[in-house]
Structure 1
C-alpha cells in the first residue's frame, strides 16, 4: 500500500509512462516513419526533437521549479505542440491541422517535459525535505531508511 501512495518511487506511472512512450515512438519511427515524419526526417529531427524537445524539457523544469501541478504542465505542452506544428507548417510546408501529427508531437513533447519535471522535482524533494527523502536515481526519490514518518500510513 505504501508504494502506491509514494509518487516519487522509480516505478511511478509518471516516470514509467514517458519512458515507455519514448520507446514506442522510437519503434514507430523505425517501423512506420510516416506516423511521425511528414515531409523529411531532417525537419522532424530539427524542429520536433531538437527545438521542441529542448523547449519541452525546459517547460517541465520551469513548472516544477514553480511547484506547479502536473496539470499545468499538460496545458503548457498542448500549447507547445501547437507551436511545433506551426513551425513545421511555416518552415517546411507540412500540414498545419493534422490531428495525427499533433497527437504524436504532443506525446513526444509530453514525455520529454515529464522527465524534465521529474528531474527537478526529485532535486526539490531531496533538498527541501532532505530529512525525509533521499534520491533514488535521476528521476525518483524514496523515504529515508528507518524513517517511519516519511510515508503516511493508515
Structure 2
C-alpha cells in the first residue's frame, strides 16, 4: 500500500491513469465542445472517480460481500477517492483546455493565436471579424 496507489502501481496505472484518465479526458473535451463551463466537467469527473474506486475495489482489493458487510473494504476510502479524483481532474482539464484552444482558433482565428497546445491568447490588433465580399 502506498500513498497514491492502494494495491499496486500497475493497478493504479491501468485503472486510474489509462482507463479513468482516458474517460476524464473525453469528459473535459465534451464539456468544451458544448461550450459548457468547466465546473460541469468537474461534477462528471466526481462521478467517474466513484466508478474508478469501485473498479479498484472490485478488481484488485479482494472485494467480497463479507468484506463489504464488515466495512473492511477500501471502497469508501476518502483518501484514495481524492487521489483518483485529482488525477482524473488533471486529465479532464487537459482535454478541456485542448478542445477550447482548437475551438477558439477554428472559430475565431482572426482574434486569437495559439501559444501552446493547451493555451491561446487574443491578438492585440484585432478589431472586428473579417468582412466577406459579396459581389
Q: Take 2:86 and 2:127, find their aligned partners in 1: how far apart are those partners?
A: 37
Q: Structure 1: which 4+ aligned runs deviate by more than 4 Å?
A: none
State the match for 2:13 in structure 1. 45
State the match for 1:109 in structure 2. 88
- Matched position secondary structure for 1:46: helix
For structure 1, the residue ranges without an aligned partner over 5 or more in a row are: 1-32, 150-154
Q: Take 2:78 and 2:127, find their aligned partners in 1: how far apart are those partners?
A: 48
- Matched position secondary structure for 2:116: coil
State the match for 1:118 in structure 2. 97
- Matched position secondary structure for 2:75: coil
CA drift of 1:146 comes to 2.3
Which one of the candidate residues 33, 45, 49 is aligned to 1:81?
49
1:101-136: CA deviation from partner (whole Å, max 9, x where unpaired): 000111110011001100000010111111111111
For structure 2, the residue ranges without an aligned partner over 5 or more in a row are: 62-72, 129-135
Which TM-score applies when normalising by structure 1? 0.72
Which TM-score applies when normalising by structure 2? 0.81
**Are residues 1:127 and 2:106 paired?**
yes
Give the structure with the larger helix fraction: 1
Q: Rg: which structure is higher?
A: 2
Q: Give the CA RMSD over aligned residues.
A: 1.8
Which one of the candidate residues 114, 120, 132 is aligned to 1:141?
120
